[in-house]
Amino acid sequence: MVKKSRSPSRILLALALGGLITELSAEPLIVATEGVYPPFSYVDDNGQLTGFDTDIARALCRQMERECELRQVAWSDLIPEMEAGRIDFSVASMAKTEDRSRRVNFTDYYYRSHSTFAGDPDRFSDISPKALKGVRLATGRDTIQADFLQNHYTDSEIILTDDLPQTLELLKSGKADLALSDTINLLDFLQQPESLQFDYIGDPLQAEELHSKAHIAVRKGEEQLLEDLNEALEDIRLDGSYERINRKYFPFSIY
Amino acid sequence: MRSTGERRFHPSLAHAVHFAVFGLLLLLVLTIWLAFPLLEGIAEKARETRDVHVPAITRWRHNTQRSEQLYNFINTLYRSEDPARVRNVRLQSQVLTNGFSFEPDKQLAKQAARVMQAVLPLTNTRLEQHQLERAMAMRANRIRQFTDRLENLFLNREPPMLAAVTVSHLTFTTAAETRYASLHATNWPEVIDNIRATEESIANLLVYHNEHSEAANDLLALLEQQRLDATQILSLQSEADAFYKSAISEQRHLSSLLNSDATLSAQDLAQRMEDDAGRIQVLAWTYIIAFLVIGSLLIFGFNYLVLRPILKASNALELASSGKPIPSSDKQPTLFSELNMISRNVQRYGDTTQELRRLNDELEQLSQLDGLTGIANRRHFDAALKQEFNRAQRHRQSLALILLDIDHFKQINDRHGHLQGDDCLKAFASLLKRFTQRSGEMTARYGGEEFVLILPLTPLQEAQALCEQIRSETPELSLLSGQGELVTLSVSAGLAYTDTPTLCSAEELLEAADSALYEAKNSGRNQVVTRVLGHPPPRTKQNAR
């Protein structure tokens, strides 16, 4: 009975301590996303960072009950910034490769997608390296797609860009013949009224190195954060939050 | 009193306590041992639910949603009149069906590809139809312009007015019908018939009016093209229908592949977990009940088998030390050997105490009796006289003392032997005993052949009468000697009496009796002489005859 009467005060103490700890750790998490990767992350007409990735990042922060500050970071700077400790984690449709795993930690995947070529269907249908000999292929720098092209399409002309809009611009302006990117990104591009002449070329690529799973990257040393993120990811996936965000951007599940 | 029979089995109390503690521990260990695999099983099943079934259910739900979405896409492709929408939906369908290749079940990806094999030609057919429609709409505008010209050219001419009106009307209708044609709403065979009717009426009109054949021929060419396109749309429509049907049937097949028993498995697991939990509950209750029952039995057993024998033994000890006999119910053996030993020892102690007491009594008795005759001896007599005299003095009561001596006893001894003498003494003693039956009265052997009687509360006359009676009955103690001779006894007695014991002493009383006996002996034996102390009455002498 003594114990029982003491327990409320204990709870209060725990709450106070917990509050103190929360107070100490109340420094907001810095979350990075690319911002030029529609519909996963882009800057909307009001200048706000938005997209599937940013919504997922916000949902995770809400689930973890942590304050987050979203920051737009260029693709090639994402991992260096995380290594420098200026970013806590990034939700940027990043595939988990061996090289990257040495530099940052990865959570479980949060969506899946293929890589596909896009271009003029009247000019191209065969996407074998032999058929694309001498063809100009555009893709983003430091991406798994860039590695893949450099390894397999040695006879093609490979153009590396800083981000997806640049790649698509090259395609539209005729400076590149084919663009290689994520199927869902390309879907967004192909649905634009000005993209009518373009289409998916060939089936999605099935190569092992084009991992097809997007993960959240977490700064090394933040093991607790990694664990919390994985837990929050499972929670939002099962409580319907993920589904709502998915439906907002895509008419079908991409998990 | 051992009707229940002696119990043979007597375990040690220490062993019994060890055994009970060990048994309870064993029961606890057994319960835990039985509950542990069940708990492990529940944990295992919970893990399986989380790691296998929940993901499977989630996956199944996603795939079902994808499949339903695909169904919506096919219907949109088939029904939409907007080519841009058709293209977007086709692109989405492609990405959606690609998604099935992530599934571990490769058959899903294959079936999804089969759906796409029907969706792509459906899309192409639809787009082709839309293109034809667009071309027809543009042509309809030109045909519409011809309507106005036709009116100008033919309406004011003679004859026949009616034909021209008909042509004008038909052309207008055709233009309108094809301008706003819809794949689904338009009745294409009727449109084709109308165009053909228009063509025929124009041809008929040309029979009469050849002058405008150039313009009419242009119109006819347009109308023919319109008819051909409409026919093409109609024929493509049946193809589209076929592709649509095929796409829908493949999609149905895809849906049927998605049937999953994950929910059933999860439910089954949940059921089994509930069963396991129930079993643990039963185990726990069994343990609690067993614990209560065994505990009660132990308490009862302790009370009955340990505490009670100890109390009994303590009781018995108390009884034994106060000299009372131990009740036989306490002598029954108990279950435990240690308690039995205590009980037996108490018993033995009680028995020993009893025996000692009895021997003591016996010894005391022996010290007070005369060995030959069994009546009180001289020592006992001295004590008794003192006691009786004191009592008489205290209560101012009378006291009579009779001293008796068998006459000529020495001669009997010499003549018949000591054994015969002893027999005489015994016979005489038992005779005397008959006269001293009341409480306080006593017969004692005074020494040799001398006996003494103490008679408290006996009046003088009665005491004298008693003396007389003894004297007269003594000769009747006829004894046969070893040689067959009849031995006849006689006795002399001295009676000392006082009814005022305060005026004399016990010694004086005894002396008086002695001197009375002496006198009786001297006066010829076989007679009683009385002396009264205190206020001496007149001296009397009675002679027995």
**Rounded mean pLDDT, B488-516:** 89
Q: Determine the structural domain holding residue A20 and report its residue range.
A: 2-113+213-249
Is there a single domain that holds both residue A26 and residue A58?
Answer: yes
Tell me the pLDDT tens digit for each residue of A100-117. Answer: 999 999 999 999 999 999
Whether the predicted pLDDT of B527 surpasses 80: yes
Task: Please tell me whether residues A186 and A68 are part of one structural domain.
Answer: no
Please write the tens of the pLDDT for every residue from A170-184.
999 999 999 999 999
* Same-domain pairing of B400 and B505: yes
What whole-number distance in Å separates Cα of residue B333 and Cα of residue B351? 16
Residue B140's pLDDT band (boundaries 50, 70, 90)?
confident
Is B73 among the domain residues?
no
**Whether residues B413 and B483 fall in one domain:** yes
- Look at residue A106 in the predicted model and tell me its pLDDT: 96
In this structure, what CATH number is given to the domain that contains residue A11?
A: 3.40.190.10
Contact across the interface for B98 and A114, Cβ inside 8 Å: yes
Among A170, A188, A205, identify where a domain stops: A205
Tell me, yes or no, whether B283 and B319 share the same domain: yes
Domain end position, chosen among B363, B380, B405? B363
Are A183 and A194 members of one domain? Answer: yes
Under the banding of pLDDT at 50, 70 and 90, the label for residue A5 is very low
Which residues in chain B have their CB less than 8 angstroms from residue A182's CB? none
> How many folded domains does chain A comprise?
2
Q: Are residues B243 and B274 in the same domain?
A: no
- Domain boundary pick from B313, B335, B363: B363
Asked whether residue A105 falls in the same domain as residue A120, the answer is no
Query: Closest approach of chain A CAs to the CA of B213, in angstroms?
Result: 43
pLDDT over 60 (residue A1):
no
Domain ranges, residue B330: 16-46+270-363
Does A254 fall in a domain?
no
Same domain, yes or no: B85 and B211: yes
Query: Are both A125 and A197 inside the same structural domain?
Result: yes
A108 and A221 inside one domain:
yes
Domain count, chain B: 3
**Per-position DSSP letters for B78-136, written without gaps between them:** HH---HHHHHHHHHHHHHHHHHGGGSS-HHHHHHHHHHHHHHHHHHHHHHHHHHHHHHH
- Asked if A60 and A7 sit in the same domain, the reply is yes
What integer pLDDT is reported at residue B308 of this predicted model?
85
Q: Give which of B467, B392, B398, B394 is closest to B436, Cα–Cα.
A: B467
Q: B68 lies in a domain? A: no
- Other CB atoms closer than 10 Å to residue A15's CB: what's the count? 11
Chain B residue numbers touching A184 (CB-CB < 8 A): 95
Q: How far is the C-alpha of B410 from the C-alpha of B1, rounded, in Å? A: 57
Domain assignment present for residue A239? The answer is yes
Give A179 or B161, the one with higher predicted confidence: A179
pLDDT, average across residues B451-457: 91
Q: Is B99 on the interface with A (CB under 8 A)?
A: yes
Residue with tokens 């295992």: B44
Residues A122 and A138 in one domain: yes
CB contact under 8 A, B101 and A206: yes
Does a structural domain hold residue B513? yes
Q: Are B349 and B405 in a shared domain?
A: no
Chain-chain contact of A200 with B102 (C-beta, under 8 angstroms): no
Judge whether B96 lies within some domain. yes
Inform me whether the pLDDT recorded for A9 exceeds 80.
no
Instruction: Scan for tokens 């060939």, then name that residue.
Output: A202
Q: Per the CB < 8 Å rule, is A187 touching B102? A: no
B418-434 and B460-473 helices, crossing angle to 10°: 140
**Range B434-462 average pLDDT:** 89
Residues A109 and A125 in one domain: no
Determine the Cα–Cα distance for residues A15 and A23; give it in Å rounded to an integer: 12
User: Does any domain span residue B265?
Assistant: no
Structural domain includes residue A237: yes
Nearest CA in chain B to A185: B95
Q: What is the CATH number of the domain that holds B485?
A: 3.30.70.270
Residue ending a domain, choose from B223, B257, B291: B257
**Average pLDDT for B480-507:** 85
- If asked whether residues A41 and A89 sit together in one domain, one would say yes
Average per-residue pLDDT for chain A: 88
The ipTM of this complex is 0.85
- In angstroms, what CA-CA distances link B6 with B81, B306, B312, B336? 110, 18, 18, 13
Q: Can you read off the two tokens belonging to residue B232?
A: 């093409």
My answer on whether B489 and B508 are in the same domain is yes
On whether both B335 and B374 belong to a single domain, the answer is no
**CB spacing of A252 vs B66 below 8 angstroms:** yes
Task: Examine the domain organization and report whether B399 and B525 are in the same domain.
Answer: yes
Give the 3-state secondary structure of residue A143. Answer: coil
Residues B497, B512: Cα–Cα separation, whole Å = 9
Tallying the residues shown for chain A, one arrives at 255
- Per the CB < 8 A criterion, the answer to whether B338 and B14 are in contact is yes
pLDDT category of residue B53 using cuts at 50, 70 and 90: confident
B277-295: average pLDDT: 89
The confidence score (pLDDT) of residue B438 equals 84
Residue B69 lies in a domain: no
Is B46 touching A (CB cutoff 8 A)?
no
Chain A environment of B69 (Cβ under 8 Å): 251-252
Residues with Cβ within 8 Å of residue A127, at least 6 apart in sequence: A117, A178, A201, A202, A205
| Domain co-membership, B381 together with B400 | yes
Residue B399 backbone zone (phi > 0: left; psi -120 to 50: alpha; other: beta)? beta
The pLDDT tens digits of the residues spanning B71-102 come to 999 999 999 989 999 999 999 999 999 989 88
Interface of A with B (CB under 8 A): 112, 114, 116, 183-184, 187, 190-191, 193, 196, 199-200, 203-204, 206, 212, 237-238, 251-255
**Residues B224 and B85 occupy one common structural domain:** yes
Per-residue pLDDT tens digits for B36-45: 888 898 899 8
Q: Are residues A107 and A135 in the same domain?
A: no
State residue B184's pLDDT score.
83
Is the domain of B281 the same as that of B249?
A: no
Q: Which residues of B are the active-site residues?
A: 449
Inter-chain CB proximity B98 and A251 less than 8 Å: no
Residue B142 lies in a domain: yes
The answer to whether residue A255 sits within a structural domain is no
What are A205-214's pLDDT values in tens digits?
Answer: 988 888 789 9
